[in-house]
A and B are shown apart, each in its own frame.
Chain A
């Protein structure tokens, strides 16, 4: 028995919300370099925010790697996600220093503020929070990262301040 899932070279991504042409430069760049599936997936996630199954299938065909194998890579590494996230991804550090300095209390504060569990999107579509192992900012623990911004020495109050600040800026942006 053999798998023929790679034979249809003209296969098109069926999800209309995904513009695969955006990924073309990346696929071109890695055409001839072996072992490049991780950077391709990283670029794809940067473009689309997550890796829907359709896109994974598309990438696997284009890269000539079996979908099961690509899926194996996607599920192995913590960085890859197969579900969409809110506009702002909150990465709450759960490293040792943060744990010792009360990261679980901060998680509670985030959860209460957002009203959703880890990995889910808030109803307004603005936030998703994820726990991460360590973001290497231990001296300012407890720490969270939102986008490229790191917030340290967190307290319940500071969490609320930061999140409310983002909400306020988003609301302003909408009314303008």
Chain B
């Protein structure tokens, strides 16, 4: 007897085809007359296995089917009817099931388990108990103390102690105070905040409610990226349900405390991740940062004391209140407490979201949870912290994941993006990629950031195009330090990090580009040469026919030759050759 079927409908699951699977299961179950509701959950973090379907029987035993499709849905319906079925081939392997058991879930506790669109399921998972405990049994000071004991630090990137911000906002005088959630997850390569809002929106509401009580605020705003439509929809539903159920509004839990919140969709500006820029954007201005102090805790939204935390930070709060700050600080290291969610992507075998206690090593994450590098290639580096972070090379794979140790490598913890790179990734090109991003996203207020990043980008482009000059590497280092020193906000202060870390660990690659005009990762096209291997070429003429610039000469059944003077390095010949005869160096 089956109790229910759960289809993972996070953004990633939907992109992989979860809607098709959901529809097929719904209609299949309905037509077959099997008594079993088909419902949804969100991303459990194993994005590489999507679409994922969980079947939970009446005893609560769960079977997980992965990489489902329409056919798999049909087989599953057959199995439910007790007919012969090939659904077992979709069952999750033990190795993949191990990906989840190797983690420790706090912020992602309910993600991929509950239906994010039903408040009842959140309540059944002890939802809003933490808020009730705070409002009924604790003073705001006691709440802040509990967070202090937990050692929770801001998960958005800066790692500032959460209790300190709350305490500062509490002690600031103002007619009105605001709790703001920064869900403007702009780091390319990071999506934990999206996953939390899509998968467990009530945990964010509860976390914000507790923060509001602690600082004495009655109004909350969630600043969400407009690029996350599903997250916005689910949060809207959750806010509505929380209001109806009496978890948002006046006189909550009969305590006399009131709090309500709303969503503000961002309009696409990376710099709005910076607190003061975010506030400017909320006020309808261009999102440009301003000098601190005054800090937002003193003068924030509409000049009132405001507390801004990241989604993941808020998501940890209910767990901390329920289990005690000490239970949270028992996880992690001396200077970094609790767990951290990472978005593991790039050239990784098992990409997705992982939550681990602080203090594990990069090796634990990449090889332990992530299953190593795609296609068995060599691990080259991992990029952490997005455009503000840096590349940690393979030689430092045993680096412990905590704020201090990561900081010492030149990278940062950041919001949790972990982009894995293999030997086909060019580190100079990576630096160019990030500078292209920060240069575009610089708000333009500080000269060094606005023009410095542009000059750095031009230098990097020159190097990648084979026009690198002697002294370019040193020029990059000099510019990097100037941009760092003379920028007002975090964007400019950290923008040179990707360049500095790649120069620090991969200087030889820069030198290869500049002096030898070679890109060993074969990514920088202008530095490549194309030739045809005589032993492999059978003279099929395909490459010559497809070459857009007539750079390949040769007759039928005779060896073809590429004229590098004419070659535009488009790579067409490599794509079309069926015999792998084109060599790229």
Contact = CB atoms under 8 A, between A and B. Distances in A.
A137 B269 contact: no
B286 interface: yes
Given A97-B189, A150-B15, A78 B417 contact: no
Given A42-B267, A80-B267, A137-B11, A96 B189 contact: yes
B188 A134 contact: yes
A95 B284 contact: no
A80 B16 CA distance: 29
A133 B184 CA distance: 13
A152 B16 contact: yes
A137 B190 CA distance: 9
B498 to A, nearest CB: 10
Interface in B37-90: 47-48, 50
Contact of A96 (B47, B352, B417): B417
Which residue among A37, A80, A133 has the maximum number of chain B CB atoms within 10 Å of its CB? A133
Given A73-B286, A138-B191, A151 B15 contact: yes
A100 B346 contact: yes
A26 interface: no
Which residue among B351, B419, B430 has the maximum number of chain A CB atoms within 10 Å of its CB? B419
B269 A78 contact: yes
B324 to A, nearest CB: 33
Interface stretch (B146-154, B206-214, B225-233): B225-233
Contact of A137 (B15, B347, B441, B443): B15
Contacts of B266: 77, 79
Interface string B351-386: 111000000000000000000000000000001001
B51 to A, nearest CB: 11
Which residue among A98, A132, A140 has the maximum number of chain B CB atoms within 10 Å of its CB? A140
A96 B284 contact: no
A148 interface: yes
Given A96-B433, A135-B227, A76 B286 contact: yes
Contacts of B284: 34-38, 73
Contacts of B519: none
B267 A38 contact: yes
A165 interface: no
Interface string B2-43: 000000000110111000000000000000000000000000
B437 interface: yes
A139 B354 CA distance: 12
A55 to B, nearest CB: 16
A133 B191 contact: no
B11 A150 contact: yes
Contacts of B425: 100
A76 B191 contact: no
Contacts of B248: none
A151 B12 CA distance: 9
A101 interface: yes
A143 B351 CA distance: 14
| Interface range on chain B (Cβ under 8 Å from partner) | 35 or more
A-B residue pairs, 6 tightest by C-beta:
A139-B47, A95-B188, A78-B268, A77-B267, A150-B15, A35-B284
A99 interface: yes
B285 interface: yes
A139 B386 contact: no
B345 interface: yes
A138 B189 contact: yes
A139 B12 contact: yes
Interface in B263-278: 264-270
Interface string A17-55: 000000000000000001111110110000000000000
Contacts of B413: none
A96 B267 contact: no
Contact of B48 (A96, A97, A98, A139): A139
A110 to B, nearest CB: 16
A96 B386 contact: yes
Contacts of B14: 150
B281 interface: yes
A72 B286 contact: yes
Contacts of A128: none
B222 interface: no
Interface string B411-452: 000000101010001000010011001000101000000000
A77 B288 CA distance: 11
Nearest to B429: A99
A99 to B, nearest CB: 5
Interface string A140-166: 110100001111100000000000000
Nearest to B15: A150
Given A76-B286, A152-B12, A133 B347 contact: no
Contacts of A135: 227
A10 to B, nearest CB: 25
Nearest to A41: B267
Contacts of A125: none
B15 A100 contact: no
Contacts of A36: 284
21 contacts: A35-B282, A39-B264, A72-B286, A76-B269, A80-B267, A96-B188, A96-B419, A96-B433, A100-B419, A134-B186, A134-B190, A136-B11, A136-B185, A137-B12, A137-B191, A138-B345, A139-B47, A140-B16, A149-B15, A150-B11, A150-B14
B437 A133 contact: yes
A101 B433 contact: no
Given A100-B421, A138-B189, A140-B15, 18 more contacts: A34-B283, A77-B268, A78-B268, A95-B188, A96-B346, A96-B417, A97-B351, A97-B419, A132-B227, A133-B186, A133-B270, A133-B441, A135-B227, A136-B225, A136-B228, A138-B190, A141-B346, A150-B14
A99 B433 contact: yes
Interface in B157-210: 185-191, 194
B442 to A, nearest CB: 12
A34 B267 CA distance: 17
B287 interface: yes
A76 B444 CA distance: 10
A79 B437 CA distance: 16
Nearest to B422: A100
B351 A139 contact: yes
Contacts of B353: 139
